Structure 1
Amino acid sequence: MIITIGGPAGSGTSTTSHILSEKTGIPYISAGDVFRQMARESNMDVLKFSKFAEGNIKIDQEIDKRQAELARDADDLIVEGRISAYFVDADLKVWCNAPLDVRAERISQRENKSIELAREEIITREASEAQRYLDIHNIDINNMDVYDIVINTHAFQADSVAQIIVKVTEVIRCQQ
C-alpha cells in the first residue's frame, strides 16, 4: 500500500509517518530525506544546498519526481511531504493539520525558540510555500480535494493518529 502524508509545519507529519511505519512495517521516506540525498549527490551540506535551491525550481521538481518514482517502484511505502499527494500515485492520501497556535508551540519546543517567533516563521513560510506551489505546480495548497482523509492532529495523540490511518488502510484493503 502506498500512503502519502502531508500537512503544514508542526502538524505532526513526521511523527505520524514514523509511528505508522513502526505499526505497519511499511518503510517511509520524506521530502526532507530526498532533499538531503540530493545535497550529498551535489557534494554540498544541507545549508549550502538549501541556498543553491532557492529560486531554482528544478530542485523542487526533482524532489517531487524522485518521490513519485520511489513510490512507483515500491509495493508498500509511506511518503511524507507537504505536497507529495499531488505527485505520488497513492492508495491513501492523508492531510494532517492542527491549529496555528498548537503548531507554533510544537515547533517552539522542537527548535528551542519562542512561540511568537515560531508563529511568525510559520506564517511567513506558509505564505512563501503557497505562492511557490502555485507558481511552480499550479497547486492551491488550501484545496483539500486531493486528500482521502484530513486529520486534526491536535484532537488525537500521535499514536491515535497513526491508528486512525491503520484503520482506514484496513477498510481500503477490504474494498480492493
Structure 2
Amino acid sequence: MVTGATTTVEIDTTLFITVSGPPGCGATTLCEQLSDAMGCPYVSGGDIFRELAEDRDMSLNQLTAEAESSDEIDRALDQRLQQIAEKWGMANKPFILESRLAGWLAGDRADLRIWLDAPEDVRLERIEDRVETEAEMRVREVSEAGRYESYYEIDIGDRTFYDLHINTARWSKQGVFQIVRTALEEYDADVDEGAFSTPEMNP
C-alpha cells in the first residue's frame, strides 16, 4: 500500500527513511505523521502482507503458517520491498519504507534507519483492539525471527546499524514524532561522518 498526504507542518528533506519494529511499536503512527510532514508516500510491508492474506482468503495466522512451510511468500514480499527500496534509493526524493526488515532490505540505500520498540506489555495493550490476538502476535514474532535466520542468515535482533532506536513507551505519539523530526531537520550531509554498514541481503 502506498499512502501520502500534505499538511501545514512540513519537513523539508529528500531523505529516504526506513522504519522498523515489532507489532505495537508505533511504526504505523510515525509513518503517517512523517508522510504528512514530508509530503511523501510510504510503503508498509504489513499492509502488503495483509493484502496477500486477503487475496488468498486467508487469516494472518493461516498465511503465516503457509509462509513457514514454504519460502515463496516471504521471498516474494521481500523482493518487492527491496525493488521499491532500490527505486527510491536512487530517486533523491523523500520516501518512507516500513517493515520489520526495511532497514535490512534498503541497506545502504537508506539515508536514515529507525528502529521503534516498547516493552511487551505496552505493545500488547496497544494491539488489543486489532484483529490479531496476543497469542497470534507472539507466534508471528517468533515465526518471523526463525524464518529470517533460516532464509537470509540474519538476526532480527541485531540493531547495531540503526541510526535511531526509540522506546516509544517513553514519549507520546507526538513526542516520538518530534524526536524523529528533529533528527531529520538537523541532518547535514556535509558533517555526516558515516552510517554503520548494513549486511547485504538477497531475498
Please indicate, yes or no, whether the TM-score normalized by the shorter chain is above 0.5. Answer: yes
* Contact 1:5/1:94 (8 A) holds in 2: yes
Q: CA deviation at 1:130?
A: 1.4
In terms of fraction of residues, the more helix-rich structure is 1
Superposition misfits of 4+ residues, deviation over 4 angstroms:
36-40
Where does residue 178 of structure 2 map in the other structure? 163
Q: What is the Cα-based RMSD across aligned positions, in Å?
A: 2.5
Matches of 1:169 and 1:46 in 2, distance apart? 39
Matches of 1:104 and 1:22 in 2, distance apart? 27
Matches of 1:172 and 1:61 in 2, distance apart? 33
Out of 84, 93, 97, the position equivalent to 2:117 is 97
Matches of 1:169 and 1:45 in 2, distance apart? 40
Where does residue 6 of structure 2 map in the other structure? none
Q: CA deviation at 1:38?
A: 5.1
Q: Which ranges in structure 2 are unaligned for 5 or more consecutive residues? A: 1-14, 193-203
| 1:75-122 deviation per Cα after TM superposition (whole angstroms, max 9, x unaligned) | 3210110111101121000000000000011111x2278xxx62x443
| Equivalent position amino acid for 2:49 in 1 | F
Change (3 A) 1:171 1:7: same
Q: Which ranges in structure 1 are unaligned for 5 or more consecutive residues? A: none
Change (3 A) 1:25 1:151: same
Is the aligned partner of 1:111 residue 2:130? yes
Question: After the TM superposition, which of the residue ranges 86-95 and 51-60 deviates more from structure 2?
Answer: 51-60
Matches of 1:38 and 1:173 in 2, distance apart? 39
Aligned length: 169
Question: After the TM superposition, which of the residue ranges 47-56 and 132-141 deviates more from structure 2?
Answer: 47-56
| 1:122-163 deviation per Cα after TM superposition (whole angstroms, max 9, x unaligned) | 333322221111111111111111211100100111122122
